[in-house]
Every structure is written in C-alpha cells, then in structure tokens.
Amino acid sequence: MQDIEKDTIVKAAGGDMAAFEEIYRKTSAFVYNVARHITASAEDADEVTQDVFIKIYNNLGGFNFLSSLKTWIYRIAVNTALNHKKASGRHLNRRADYDITLKTAAAKEEAKDNLDSQAKKDKLRRLLDALSSEQRACIVLREIEGMDYKEIAAALKIKINTVRTRLKRARERLINLNKKG
C-alpha cells in the first residue's frame, strides 16, 4: 500500500472528494484483494470494498493520527470482510436490493480469467476454505499481502504471539490437507 500524506487525510476529512479519491486509489487494491480472498466471492468483495470506503469517509474526521492510516484501513477492511462473511452465512437473501448491474459486471470480470489462472485460484480456494476465518485472515495478510507479524498484529489488534500461533495452526492444517490429497 502506498503512503498517504497527512495533508491529504485532513483535506479528505473535511469533505474534499479529490483528496478522498487519492486515498481510495492508493488503498483500494489492498482492501479489494483482502476482501476477495476472505469472502471468496467477487460480489461480496464489491460490497465489502464499498462498505469499507464509506466507513472510512464517514470516520476520517475521528482519525487521530496516533496509528498510521494504513493500519487503520487494514483493520477496517479485515473486520468488515470477516463480519460480512459471517453475516452472509446467516442472511442468504440479504442482497435482494443489490444492484443487478453490479452482479453482471462481476460475473463478466470473473469470466475473463483464463483457465490456467483459474486452476491456481481453485487450488488456493481449497486451501483457504480449509481454514477458520481467523486463520484465513492471518494467511491472506501474510502470504498474499506480504505483511510481517508486527503489521498483521496491528491490523487484527492481536498479539504477535497470537499471529504466530494462528499461522502455525493454519499451516499444520494445510499440511494435513495435502496428506489427504
């Protein structure tokens, strides 16, 4: 994720849409990618990303600069994605009012993926599906986003040792999965 200047944050907090768009352009790739891997769906990733940036916009005024904006956005993104995953399991019809054109756009985007990368994604999907939500969040941040233990701990608001334990358990589970074939 690229750095964002304090000046940009202040402007965006005051309602400057150009400044807010700059924050979006610099951070949305991370938010979307994490949401996509945690929820395992293009539609859900769309919804989570929208939710996250509306939350960010509405709460920027309360951002205190004690933590970095990145860490703050990491945290909102992971929490929103995890909650969304939980909620979508309970309310299957939640998206009745969801714009149909979005679904079409997401489906087209999915169809564009070629078969080779689809196979890789299927394999990844199987691995991630074997994990608990908490383990999955750690693995996505570590393996896919390349974050170190300290960054993961800050993003998930957990101790570094908890990060370590979750990664260890996740990998042990993946090793077992491989043994079964």
- Which residues in this chain contact another protein in the complex, by CB under 8 A? 14-15, 17, 21, 24, 28-29, 31-33, 36-37, 45-46, 49-50, 53-54, 57-58, 61, 99, 102, 105-106, 109, 117, 120-121, 123-124, 127, 139, 142-144, 148-149, 164, 167-168, 171-172, 174-175, 178
Tell me how far apart the alpha carbons of residues 139 and 146 are, in angstroms, rounded to a whole number: 9
DSSP 129-152: HTS-HHHHHHHIIIIIT---HHHH
Nearer to another protein, 53 or 74 (CB): 53
Nearer to another protein, 54 or 87 (CB): 54
Q: How far is the CB of 128 from another protein (least distance, A)?
A: 9
List the one residue out of 20, 22, 6, 87 whose CA is nearest residue 55: 20
Q: How far is the CB of 15 from another protein (least distance, A)?
A: 4
Q: Is 14 helix (H, G, I), strand (E, B) or coil?
A: coil
Residue with tokens 């991370």: 30
Q: How far is the CB of 53 from another protein (least distance, A)?
A: 5
Nearer to another protein, 36 or 70 (CB): 36
Distances (CA, A) of 55 to 46, 70, 112, 126, 162: 14, 14, 30, 31, 27
Q: How far is the CB of 42 from another protein (least distance, A)?
A: 8
